[in-house]
Amino acid sequence: MAADGAPVVSRQFLSADHYRSPDAAERERAIYAPHFWHPLVPLSSLPEGSALALELLDLPLLLSHPPGGPPQVFLNRCPHRGVALLSPAAEAQACRRLVCPYHGWTYGLDGLLRAAAREGEFAGAFSRQDWPLVALASAVRGSMLWVAVGPDPLPLEQQLDLMEQELGAELERPRVLLASLERELACNWKIAHDNTLDDYHVAIAHPTTLHRQQGPVRHYRHRFAMHTNLLATPVVNPGQSGSGAKEFLTFGAPPWIHWLVWPDGRLALISFPPLDPGRCRLQVWLLGDPSQQPRGQEWIEELGNFLEEDRVLVEAAQRGYSSGLTPGPAHRLEARILHQQALYARIMGLVEPPAPSASA
Ligand code: FES
Ligand SMILES: [Fe+2]
């Protein structure tokens, strides 16, 4: 174990095949993605009495928030003949019922069938209670709505283990969406995930953006748990901090997510859900106190600046990996990449590299 708590770096990066092979992408859909929870939307973007359709990993999802109850996630697929009940949209829409556009089956926001057209004329016995929407497991954590796409996911608190330990109750402080950002990246999701875990490149590739936020490399503090890792950097001028924290925290977590946490309570969640072996989506949600809303646009543009610097690099790296690169040696400041790759290898059943170790 190194002095800063990082696992000793004596391992290699994952081989390039994992970054370009359709077979690897297929196995990730079948094995890796179902093992974890996936952030969908901030809770503040799905008020009670509203619904929203979106896609995750090619799954059509329907998010709803019944009045007086918790939010729900269903397959956006009418049980009658499979048509989507709602069209994907950027924002949730206020509604009391979901009416299928094909034959008019009508659902409550709780996913129960309320009415079907010409109900007495089905071929066999018909009972509404036999035809609810298919529900997926969902949870609210860190002011976000999460979904599990497999039947037996890792508990969400284990997936976010180090965040839970470092932030404690601060993680559950109610936050609202201040601003968001979404782009498509022409790279495998692992190139984007690796890059956001890469503490070796920041001083070189982001000299006037992220590096100014994170400060000198000699002050970097690393921490590793079973699933999540952390880079903490001191904040010289923390501003109006209510928590007393004086560090800027950058967490990396499976399956492909990152959390940035500022001393003023702001929190950005970055996710890279895959689209196909050579493309992924970049999603950023900036969350904070409602009083911070006036600065949301300014802050998301700051994030967008260094993420654009990264876009150029990750898309170039994808071309390098696709041309048959054998990756070079890993640096001490790339230990967070190796940590997540070891986790990936363990879940995917690969022999390289070895399983991650927990340390605090
Ligand atoms: S497919 Fe929805 S009512 Fe027929
Ligand atoms: Fe970067």
The 10s digit of each residue's pLDDT in 286-344 is: 999 999 999 999 999 999 999 999 999 999 999 999 998 999 999 999 999 999 999 99
- What is the average pLDDT score of the chain? 92
Domain ranges within the chain, ordered by starting residue: 16-34+173-348, 40-139
For residue 220, give both structure tokens: 């970097």
- Say how far apart CA 169 and CA 257 lie, in whole Å: 20
- Residue pair 70/140 in contact by the 8 Å Cβ criterion: yes
What pLDDT score does 237 carry? Answer: 60
**Residues flanking ligand 1, CB < 6 Å:** 78, 80-81, 83, 100, 102-105
Our measurement of the distance from residue 198's CA atom to the centroid of its chain's CA atoms, rounded to an integer in Å, reads: 17
- Say how far apart CA 88 and CA 99 lie, in whole Å: 15
Q: What is the CA radius of gyration of the chain?
A: 22
| Distance of CA 201 from the midpoint of ligand 2 (Å) | 7
Candidate from 81, 97, 99, 119 with most ligand 1 atoms within 8 A of CB, to mutate = 81
- Residue pair 356/342 in contact by the 8 Å Cβ criterion: yes
Q: What is the mean pLDDT of residues 226-233?
A: 97
Q: Which CATH class is domain 16-34+173-348?
A: alpha beta
- Say how far apart CA 214 and CA 217 lie, in whole Å: 8
Superfamily of domain 40-139: Rieske [2Fe-2S] iron-sulphur domain (2.102.10.10)
DSSP-derived 3-state class of residue 35:
helix
Q: What is the mean pLDDT of residues 235-255?
A: 75
- Say how far apart CA 141 and CA 159 lie, in whole Å: 12
For residue 340, give both structure tokens: 């997540």
| Distance of CA 115 from the midpoint of ligand 2 (Å) | 52
- Specify the ligand 1 atom closest to the Cα of 104: 3
Residue type, 164: E
Short-list 357, 321, 319, 325, CA closest to 339: 357
What pLDDT score does 282 carry? Answer: 98
What pLDDT score does 9 carry? Answer: 41
Q: What is the pLDDT of residues 269-288, one digit of tens each?
A: 999 999 999 999 999 999 99
Short-list 263, 260, 209, 261, CA closest to 236: 263
> What's the chain's length in residues?
360
Closest C-alpha residue for ligand 1 atom 3: 103
| Distance of CA 309 from the midpoint of ligand 2 (Å) | 7
Residue type, 344: Y
Candidate from 103, 126, 134 with most ligand 1 atoms within 8 A of CB, to mutate = 103
| Distance of CA 116 from the midpoint of ligand 2 (Å) | 52
Task: Answer whether 0.85 is exceeded by the pTM.
Answer: yes
Name every residue whose Cβ is closer than 8 Å to that of residue 204 and which is 6 or more positions away in sequence.
none
- Cβ-based burial of 302 (10 A; exposed 0-12, middle 13-18, buried ≥19): middle
Candidate from 74, 76, 77, 83 with most ligand 1 atoms within 8 A of CB, to mutate = 83
DSSP summary character for residue 257 = E
| Distance of CA 96 from the midpoint of ligand 1 (Å) | 18
What pLDDT score does 352 carry? Answer: 55
What pLDDT score does 58 carry? Answer: 93
- Specify the ligand 1 atom closest to the Cα of 82: 1
Q: What is the pLDDT of residues 136-156, one digit of tens each?
A: 999 999 999 999 999 999 999
Ligand nearest to the CA of 131: 1
Cβ < 5 A residues, ion ligand 2? 310
Ligand nearest to the CA of 104: 1
Question: Phi first, then psi: what are they for 4, rounded to 5°?
Answer: -90, 10
- Specify the ligand 1 atom closest to the Cα of 103: 3
Closest C-alpha residue for ligand 1 atom 1: 81
Short-list 316, 273, 87, 246, CA closest to 182: 273
- Specify the ligand 1 atom closest to the Cα of 117: 3
